[in-house]
Structure 1
Amino acid sequence: MTDSKAPASEQATAHEPLTFRVGMLGALIAPFVFLIGVIAYFVVFAVFDMNALTASGLAGLIIAALFSRKYSRFWDAVISGVSSRPSVTLLLILLTVSLVSALITATDVSGGFVWLASTLGVSGGVFIAVIFLMACAISMSTGTSIGTLFTAFPIFYPAGVLLGADPLLLAGAILSGALFGDSLAPISDSTIVSASTQRYRRKVGTAEIGGVVRSRAKFALPAAAVSAILFLVIGSAVSPGTDMSAADIVDATGAGPLPLIMLVPIALLLFTAFWKRDIFLATTVGLIAGTVLGLVTGLLDFSDIISANDDGTPGGFLVAGVGDIIPLIGLGIVIFGMIGVLQEAGVFDAIVNAASRSAFARTPRGAEVVIGLGALATATVFAGVNGPSMIMFGPVADRIGAAAGLHPYRRANVMEGFTLGLGSVVPIVSSFLLIASLLTQGHEGVPEVAAPAIFLGAFYPLALTLVIAISVLTGWGRRFEGEGGAESRTPVPPVD
């Protein structure tokens, strides 16, 4: 909202068109430079680092500003993109939920799952299916696919190979479970971004995270069930088996049952998120309950919450959580800045207008196809990094879907389904495949798995893509925005 007391010159600047010396292509300079950085780091250097991507995006903005006809107007557009309510809300949510993720990691929940699997005596193909489900639980608890990969691989991968599991399918199962949580967890950056970028047209606000998760479950759970069956059947057929006992595995990993009690605060968090539909309240409940329970059970002591290390650096999961998320926050700020430039240069209007001229894109099914393919293409450009790619494409999906009357939940689910599906595991360029491959390395007596090969075992993202594609083609689960933002099964005239 414009401040009525702002100087007239400032109000005029706010509505002054953003133009470039090279035409509308000038607005694409920053994304192009960013893309070069993505390819250089992920493909050429084989390095995954959010700070490097932030630097690439910032360099793109600095270069693009030089082509603007009015330099200060360019940076006004950047600030407008960063300071919008959806942008600030998303960044604050990411900062808050990172503390819960760090708490769960600090209490070694993954070790509890290793103990459980070993105690149950599962091995080979059964172990692969169980590890998929356990990785799902960890990623649902932490809300981070990348964090789940770095937490689960060092424990589950070597232990699974010792238990006779096929290495390729085991790596695919861990990756699949990590992506499941990113798809469905209410504290996942992907869930938050997909919801927060989709605005209501018949009431104020964006899609509620709890509502998006509830509506998304009908797609994610069947995809997970199909994946679990495939891991069990195919894994049992190709896994060599082992003679190691459960006690040997527990001794080798140092796993124990106590960390599993930390699933209680996660359950409270999920219940609060679905009940109150307030992610800030939900994370507060989960954080307080988890901290108290960790202290009472001895999984945490006060130095694990906040402390100082011997080298003078701060310690504790509160600091670790902030440190883990700051790179993504920095990248989010840069991407929101690019979105502000694209918005005020008229690029989004041009894309939406082009889509609206197509009779196909004006239909609900056509709009969903455009959203799905656009999300897939954007995710590929962003090397499968789903949160930032949806930050970039979300405003386009919002406008195209709203023009066809689609409910914000539906827009979020179609965009996220293709992004977290095939978009996250496109061979050669996928950062997820690269990270999974790197995490199979360095374990004594355990084989390494190449990134392209893991694609063949990543059943969940492939199954999710199939489920969402069937939903788009058949209309299963399609909802429209009715009066007051309510979900409607029948089309309602769209509102601009």
Structure 2
Amino acid sequence: MSNNSNKIKANGIALIPFLVFIAIYLGSGIILNSRGVEMAFYQFPAPIAVFCGVIAAFLILKGNLNEKFDQFVKGCGSQDIMIMCTIYLLAGAFAGVSKAMGGVDSTVNLGLTFIPPQYITAGIFLISCFISLATGTSCGALAAVAPIAVALATKAGLSLPLTMAAVVGGSMFGDNLSVISDTTIAATRTQGCEMRDKFRVNLLLALPPAIITVVLLLIFGHPTSVPTMQSYEYDIIKVLPYICVLVLAIAGVNVFAVLTGGTILSGIIGIAYGKLTVLSFAKESFNGFTSMIDIFLVSMITGGLAYMVTQAGGLQWLLDRIQKMIKGRKSAEVGIAALVSLTDIAIANNTVSIIINGPIAKEISSRFKVDPRRSASILDTFSCIMQGMIPYGAQMLMVGSFTKGAVSPMAVIPLLWYQQLLAVSLIVSMFIPFADGIIKKDPWKWDNKEAADKKISM
């Protein structure tokens, strides 16, 4: 994109289609929320909101209809977009089949069985961390752990707001780090780096806040009455697919092989235990595909819209303005963090926020020599920090739903210690590079034109 943007004349009007998309998505959420609609910011389908932006692009941008359509299709079908969308489908299949064969329930019950009752709040955080890391979804982890956490908090006399903050914090830990999370997929593909490298860089930033959070929960999360230790039903075999996927991904095995192999392993275990048949295995795999259809379409259509806007000079106009405020690498990193954070506040969707800002972040990174592994980590992390803290985000809305309105988002937000510490960790790292060991050991090859677009081997 760097080469193309240098030849394109800046044009602020070209950004209007993106503004149309954001205005419709944000505006519908505000209107529905004012009317008391549950999950208001998730009622208007995101793919339709993006497509409204595409229509605006066809109406506003210069060129004949065929030229604009060719640009749109080229953007939709770009290599990065297609790889991203394929990974979404495979991740959905793995998550769906693994859940159907009982993997999520076994993982939660395994943790609850072996965590001492007096440490249950910290244990809930750790269980949420692992579930979200294994499944790649914060909402999925919340759905699995939150009902159990509410029951335990009531029985043990735990602070319900603190307990729910532990669930949300743990859920966002995995959403940010998981190699099958849609945010990780979007961040690494838009920045042109490998998932395992982003994971290693990101882990050094996320682990200290997670450890401090566990310590704080051990200190302040003691139950007023210690609940009786229970033995929940679990099967370690059903946890194996998650462990295998995680280990193989970090080891650098190809992402398609990892997710396909993980799905097949979960299917075999499900069939062996009588939870699945060959036919239901196929159906659950397909259901996993369809569960990702929203983000698949958003990614593909946004890719087309972004390419049209870029060719019309919109990205160049924005970069020219941003560049005036950026003086070097540190301020470039701050700028990337601010852009994705503000976008997530506006549209309450961390994956879409990354997709929107990915091309801009990639260009900024190229100009100011911000390592793509670093920019991918910043995009993913700050979008997850904001997503887990905004009161109208899916995570906070789910908290209200599971507690039946007994806990408001405003009571939970001050207790989201993990997200707050993670933000501090990222900001400090911009000025004191304490987590740059991997980057220094293997510097990005800026002189290699193919480096920025190297293919994922995971």
Cα offset for 1:143?
1.0
Cα offset for 1:193?
0.8
- What is the rounded CA distance, in whole Å, between the counterparts of 2:431 and 2:10 in structure 1? 39
Structure 2 partner of 1:167: 160
Q: 1:232 to 1:338 in 2, by over 3 A?
A: farther
Q: SS state of the match for residue 60, structure 2?
A: coil
Cα offset for 1:337?
3.0
Instruction: Name the structure with the higher helix share.
Output: 2
Query: What is the aligned length?
Result: 442
Larger Rg: 1
Q: SS state of the match for residue 214, structure 2?
A: helix
Offset from partner CA, 1:179-218 (integer Å, 9 cap, x none):
11111111111111111110xxxxxxx2011111122111
Structure 2 partner of 1:418: 382
Offset from partner CA, 1:284-323 (integer Å, 9 cap, x none):
22112222223334454445414xxxxxxxxx42132122
1:87 aligns with 2:81: yes
Q: 1:288 to 1:492 in 2, by over 3 A?
A: closer
Question: Could you tell me whether the CA contact under 8 Å between 2:101 and 2:269 is conserved in 1?
Answer: no
Q: 1:136 to 1:481 in 2, by over 3 A?
A: closer
Q: SS state of the match for residue 221, structure 2?
A: helix
Q: 1:327 to 1:27 in 2, by over 3 A?
A: closer
Picking from 295, 299, 318, the partner of 1:328 is: 295
- What is the rounded CA distance, in whole Å, between the counterparts of 1:417 and 1:473 in structure 2? 17
Structure 2 partner of 1:185: 178
- What is the rounded CA distance, in whole Å, between the counterparts of 1:480 and 1:410 in structure 2? 10
Offset from partner CA, 1:361-400 (integer Å, 9 cap, x none):
24111111111111211111121x2111101111111111
Offset from partner CA, 1:420-442 (integer Å, 9 cap, x none):
12x2134344332122222222x
- Give, as a single letter, the amino acid of the residue that structure 2 aligns with 1:230: L
Matches of residues 199-278 of structure 1 in structure 2 within 5 Å? 206-236=192-222, 239-241=223-225, 244-247=227-230, 255-258=232-235, 260-278=236-254
Cα offset for 1:405?
1.4
- What is the rounded CA distance, in whole Å, between the counterparts of 1:43 and 1:98 in structure 2? 33
- What is the rounded CA distance, in whole Å, between the counterparts of 1:33 and 1:64 in structure 2? 14
- Give, as a single letter, the amino acid of the residue that structure 1 aligns with 2:196: G
Question: Could you tell me whether the CA contact under 8 Å between 2:299 and 2:352 is conserved in 1?
Answer: yes
Structure 1 partner of 2:368: 404
- What is the rounded CA distance, in whole Å, between the counterparts of 1:75 and 1:407 in structure 2? 34
Cα offset for 1:90?
0.4
- Give, as a single letter, the amino acid of the residue that structure 1 aligns with 2:225: G
Q: 1:338 to 1:480 in 2, by over 3 A?
A: farther
1:293 aligns with 2:269: yes
- What is the rounded CA distance, in whole Å, between the counterparts of 2:115 and 2:169 in structure 1? 23
Structure 2 partner of 1:452: 410
Offset from partner CA, 1:142-182 (integer Å, 9 cap, x none):
11112222222233332443233321111111111111111
Picking from 383, 397, 402, the partner of 1:434 is: 397
Structure number with greater CO (CA < 8 Å, separation at least 6) is 2
1:373 aligns with 2:373: no
- Give, as a single letter, the amino acid of the residue that structure 2 aligns with 1:296: A
Question: Could you tell me whether the CA contact under 8 Å between 1:114 and 1:155 is conserved in 2?
Answer: no
- What is the rounded CA distance, in whole Å, between the counterparts of 1:113 and 1:157 in structure 2? 18
1:348 aligns with 2:325: no
- What is the rounded CA distance, in whole Å, between the counterparts of 1:117 and 1:164 in structure 2? 20
- What is the rounded CA distance, in whole Å, between the counterparts of 1:481 and 1:85 in structure 2? 26
Picking from 353, 363, 375, the partner of 1:389 is: 353
- Give, as a single letter, the amino acid of the residue that structure 2 aligns with 1:174: V
RMSD: 3.1
- What is the rounded CA distance, in whole Å, between the counterparts of 1:351 and 1:181 in structure 2? 32
Question: Could you tell me whether the CA contact under 8 Å between 2:28 and 2:44 is conserved in 1?
Answer: no
Taking structure 2 as the reference length, the TM-score comes to: 0.86
Structure 1 partner of 2:117: 123
Question: Could you tell me whether the CA contact under 8 Å between 1:117 and 1:130 is conserved in 2?
Answer: yes
**Structure 2 alignment gaps of length 5 or more:** 2-6, 453-458
- Give, as a single letter, the amino acid of the residue that structure 1 aligns with 2:178: A
Cα offset for 1:229?
1.5
Offset from partner CA, 1:82-102 (integer Å, 9 cap, x none):
111111110110011111111
Structure 2 partner of 1:29: 20
Question: Could you tell me whether the CA contact under 8 Å between 1:437 and 1:451 is conserved in 2?
Answer: yes
Structure 2 partner of 1:201: none
Q: 1:397 to 1:121 in 2, by over 3 A?
A: closer
Cα offset for 1:77?
3.3
Cα offset for 1:494?
10
Q: 1:375 to 1:40 in 2, by over 3 A?
A: same
- What is the rounded CA distance, in whole Å, between the counterparts of 1:302 and 1:84 in structure 2? 34
Cα offset for 1:119?
3.5
Structure 2 partner of 1:96: 90
Q: SS state of the match for residue 246, structure 1?
A: coil
Question: Could you tell me whether the CA contact under 8 Å between 1:50 and 1:331 is conserved in 2?
Answer: no
Structure 2 partner of 1:461: 419
Structure 1 partner of 2:456: none
Question: Could you tell me whether the CA contact under 8 Å between 2:131 and 2:174 is conserved in 1?
Answer: yes
Structure 1 partner of 2:255: 279
Taking structure 1 as the reference length, the TM-score comes to: 0.80
Question: Could you tell me whether the CA contact under 8 Å between 1:179 and 1:420 is conserved in 2?
Answer: yes
Q: 1:27 to 1:344 in 2, by over 3 A?
A: farther
Question: Could you tell me whether the CA contact under 8 Å between 2:201 and 2:373 is conserved in 1?
Answer: yes
- Give, as a single letter, the amino acid of the residue that structure 2 aligns with 1:328: I
Question: Could you tell me whether the CA contact under 8 Å between 1:31 and 1:338 is conserved in 2?
Answer: no
- What is the rounded CA distance, in whole Å, between the counterparts of 2:418 and 2:24 in structure 1? 32
Q: 1:294 to 1:63 in 2, by over 3 A?
A: same
Cα offset for 1:133?
0.5
Picking from 106, 112, 122, the partner of 2:106 is: 112
Question: Could you tell me whether the CA contact under 8 Å between 1:103 and 1:287 is conserved in 2?
Answer: yes
Q: 1:43 to 1:378 in 2, by over 3 A?
A: farther
- What is the rounded CA distance, in whole Å, between the counterparts of 1:121 and 1:410 in structure 2? 35
- What is the rounded CA distance, in whole Å, between the counterparts of 1:121 and 1:416 in structure 2? 30
Question: Could you tell me whether the CA contact under 8 Å between 1:51 and 1:331 is conserved in 2?
Answer: no
- What is the rounded CA distance, in whole Å, between the counterparts of 1:130 and 1:23 in structure 2? 50
- Give, as a single letter, the amino acid of the residue that structure 2 aligns with 1:368: E
- What is the rounded CA distance, in whole Å, between the counterparts of 1:261 and 1:480 in structure 2? 34
- What is the rounded CA distance, in whole Å, between the counterparts of 2:68 and 2:22 in structure 1? 15
Bigger Cα displacement from structure 2, 286-295 vs 462-471: 286-295
- What is the rounded CA distance, in whole Å, between the counterparts of 1:32 and 1:494 in structure 2? 39
